[in-house]
Structure formats: structure tokens, C-alpha cells
Structure 1
Amino acid sequence: MNLNQITVPALDLEKSITFYQTLGLQLIVKASPRYARFACPEGGSTFSIHLVEDLPQGNGVMVYFECTQLDDKVQELVTQGISFDEMPEDRPWLWREARLKDPNGNQIILFYAGENRLNPPWRLKESP
């Protein structure tokens, strides 16, 4: 099994398209006014947004995008006017993360984890 895509809700499709293009995603489908889909610049996964009348309540959606040059990417985005809630910081779970919100309040985490993404020291042992 392989993860194909994640879809998040949006109140304003055009504003969301601009935001995600600024992050570096490539717009591959634009079915205005209800849906847009992006290709991630690395790997084979995609990301989409769909128009909703109301956003979910509570903690909402959290989406992680891995960036090998995290600090450089964050600085590039800051110069393009993107605001971050948290600048890059090393986390106890051995990932370096920066956090921001998209125009709809969805939590976006840009991170770099290297080997620890799939193989942290506390990973469960493989079955025999």
C-alpha cells in the first residue's frame, strides 16, 4: 500500500491554490470552483484541496511536508511573505520542524527527519 494523496478543506479555493503554489507544490488539476490537486515536488504523492461551506471544528487537519533543506526553505518562504507560527526547531522526537497555517487554518508542518522519519530509536522491532 502507498499513500496517494491527502485532501484538505478550503473556504476559498483561489487563495489556497496560491498558498500551496508558494510552498512549492505544482498545480496539476484545477476544477474550479470546487477542487484543485497538486503534485509534490519529490516522490509520487499528491495533495488536494476541496471547497467546503464550513471548516471542521476542533484540532482540524495536520499535514507534514518533508524538506531536506528545511531552514533554507523556511527562509525562502518568509521572504515571499509566508508567516510561520513556529520557526525551525529541533523536537524531542528527533525531527526538525517549522509550523504554519494555511489560509483555512489547517496546520502545516514543514520538517526534516532524515533516518528518524521511519527508523527512530524507539521503532518497534520487526516480527521474526
Structure 2
Amino acid sequence: MRLNQVTVTAPDLDAAWEFYRRLGLIPVVDSRPHYIRFLCPDGDSTFSVDQGERTGSGTTVYFEMDDLDAEVARFKSLGFAFTSGPRDQRWLWREAELFDPAGNRIVLYHAGKNRIDPPWRVRA
């Protein structure tokens, strides 16, 4: 089984389009004002935004980056406002947090081998 995509809800797909394009995602479907879908720049995972009034409903999306600090610095220079980070977490990930225009929590992170093989991984 592979994760295909994550979909979040936003009332303003034009604002979402601009935010996620600036974040580096590659457009796949533009059915505004109802739906947009992007391809992540690394791998084949996709990310979608569906038009709706529910915002910031507890959704958190994690995007992994190899050089997190450099990418956060670059995004800050583009005007992105971060609420935290980059900083090391006790679960051995380095993270930076921001919110999209609809209030969905976005975490940019680097975990390396600890993403799927942390020291406390359950073993068969």
C-alpha cells in the first residue's frame, strides 16, 4: 500500500493555488473554483485542495525536505511566515511550522532514517 494523496479543504482556491505553487508543488489539475491537485517535486505523491468552508480543521500535512534549513531560509526570503523552527524535536525530526491561507497546518521537516526506522521502532 502507498499513500497516493492528501486533500485539504480551503474556501479560496486561488489563495491555495498561489501558496502551494510558491511552496514548489507542481500543478496537475486546475478545476478552480472547485478542486486543484499538485504533484510533489520529489517522488510521485500528490496533494489536493478541495473547495469548502471548513478550514483549519485539525489537518496537518508534512512535507519532507533534504536540506530543511536552507529551504526554510529560501521560503522566508519569498515572504512565507513561519510560526516555528527549524528546530530539532524529541522524536528525532527537524521541523518548521507554517499555516496555509485556509489555516491548515503545514510542517516542513527532515527525518532521514528516523522517519520509518526510529530507535524505538516496533520490531516483529
Q: TM-score, normalised by structure 2?
A: 0.97
CA distance in 2, matches of 1:113, 1:48: 23
CA distance in 2, matches of 1:120, 1:23: 28
Q: RMSD between aligned alpha carbons? A: 0.9
Q: What does residue 29 of structure 2 align with?
A: 29
CA distance in 1, matches of 2:34, 2:109: 29
Residues 29-38 or 46-55, more deviating: 46-55
Q: TM-score, normalised by structure 1?
A: 0.94
The answer for unaligned runs of 5 or more in structure 2 is: none
CA distance in 1, matches of 2:54, 2:24: 26
Note if contact 2:55-2:104 (Cα within 8 Å) is conserved in structure 1.
no
**CA displacement at 1:53 relative to structure 2:** 2.5
CA distance in 2, matches of 1:123, 1:115: 11
Report SS of the residue matched to 1:85: strand
**CA displacement at 1:28 relative to structure 2:** 1.1
Aligned residues: 124
Note if contact 2:56-2:105 (Cα within 8 Å) is conserved in structure 1.
no
The answer for unaligned runs of 5 or more in structure 1 is: none
Q: What does residue 89 of structure 1 align with?
A: 87
**Segments of 4+ in structure 1 off by > 6 A?**
none
Q: Which amino acid aligns with 1:113?
A: A
